[in-house]
Structure 1
Amino acid sequence: MCMKKCLVGLTFCTCYLASYLTNKYVLSVLKFTYPTLFQGWQTLVGGLLLHVSWKLGWVEINSRSRSDVLTWLPASVLFVGIIYAGSRALSRLAIPVFLTLHNAAEVIICGHQKCFRKEKTSPPKICSALFLLAAAGCLPFNDSQFDPDGYFWAVIHLLCVGAYKILQKSQKLNKLSDIDQQYLNYLFSVVLLALAAHPTGDLFSVLDFPFLYFYRFHGSCCASGFLGFFLMFSTMKLKSLMAPGQCAAWIFFAKVITSGLSMLLFDTILTRETMGCLLLGGFGEALLVFSERKGS
Structure 2
Amino acid sequence: MCVRRCLVGLTFCTCYLASYLTNKYVLSVLKFTYPTLFQGWQTLIGGLLLHVSWKLGWAEIHGSSRSDVSAWLPASVLFVGIIYAGSRALSKLAIPVFLTLHNVAEVILCGHQMCFRKEKTSPAKICSALFLLAAAGCLPFNDPQFDPGGYFWAVIHLLCVGAYEILQKARKPNALSDIDQQYLNYMFSAGKTSSLLCCFIFSVVLLALASHPTGDLISVPDFPFLYFYRFHGSCCASGLLGFFLMLSTVKLKSLMAPGQCAAWIFFAKVITAGSSVLLFDMTLTSATVGCLLLGGLGEALLVFSERKGS
Q: Give the corresponding residue for 2:249.
A: 235
CA–CA separation in structure 1 for the residues paired with 2:9 and 2:52: 24
- Aligned amino acid, residue 30 of structure 1: L
Contact kept? 2:259, 2:307, Cα under 8 Å:
yes
Runs of 5+ in structure 1 lacking a partner?
A: none
Q: Give the AA of the match of 2:33.
A: T
TM-score (norm 2): 0.94
Q: Aligned pair 1:278/2:292, yes or no?
A: yes
Structure 1 position 191, deviation (Å):
1.6
Amino acid at match of 1:145: Q
Residue matched to 1:8: 8
Identity across matched positions, percent: 87
Residue 69 (structure 1) shift: 2.1
**Equivalent runs, 1:72-87 vs 2, <5 Å:** 72-87=72-87
**What CA distance in whole angstroms lies between the structure 1 residues aligned with 2:10 and 2:182?**
22
Q: Is the Cα contact below 8 Å between 2:50 and 2:183 reproduced in 1? A: yes
Would the alpha carbon gap of residues 51 and 32 (structure 1) be closer, same or farther in structure 2, given more than 3 Å must change?
Answer: same
Instruction: Give 1:173 shift.
Output: 7.0
Q: Where does structure 2 lack aligned partners over 5 or more consecutive residues?
A: 188-201
Quote the residue 2:203 is aligned against: 189
> In structure 2, what is the equivalent of residue 157 of structure 1?
157
Asked if 1:208 corresponds to 2:222, the answer is yes
Map 1:166-177 to 2 at 5 A: 166-172=166-172, 174-177=174-177
Within-5 A mapping of 1:87-236: 87-172=87-172, 174-187=174-187, 188-236=202-250
Which letter maps to 1:244?
A: P
Q: Which sits farther off after the overlay, 284-293 or 51-60?
A: 51-60
Change (3 A) 1:293 1:173: closer
SS in 2 for 1:79: helix
Q: Give, in angstroms, the shift of residue 108 of structure 1.
A: 0.3
Report the equivalent of 2:191.
none
- 1:45 matched residue in structure 2: 45
Kindly report which structure 2 residues correspond to 1:250-265, keeping only aligned pairs within 5 A, or say none. Answer: 250-265=264-279
Distance 2:50 2:153 in 1: 28
Offset from partner CA, 1:39-86 (integer Å, 9 cap, x none): 000000000000000000111222344322211010011111100000
Q: Which residue of 1 aligns with 2:259?
A: 245
Scaled by the length of structure 1, the TM-score of the pair is: 0.98
CA distance in 2, matches of 1:109, 1:240: 21
1:239 counterpart letter in structure 2: K
Q: Which residue of 1 aligns with 2:19?
A: 19
Q: CA deviation at 1:203?
A: 1.1
Cα deviation, 1:8-65, whole Å, max 9, x if unaligned, reads 0000000000000000000000000000000000000000000000000111222344
How far apart are the structure 1 equivalents of 2:121 and 2:127? 10
- Give the aligned residue type for 1:32: F
**Contact residue 131 and residue 284 of structure 1 kept, 8 A:** yes
Work out whether residues 63 and 176 of structure 1, in 8 Å CA contact, stay in contact via their aligned partners in 2.
Answer: no
Does the CA contact (< 8 Å) of 2:64 and 2:176 recur in 1?
no
SS in 2 for 1:169: helix
| Residue correspondences, number | 296
Counterpart Cα distance in 2 of 1:138 and 1:290? 24
Q: What corresponds to 1:55 in structure 2?
A: 55
Q: Which deviates more, 188-197 or 262-271? A: 188-197
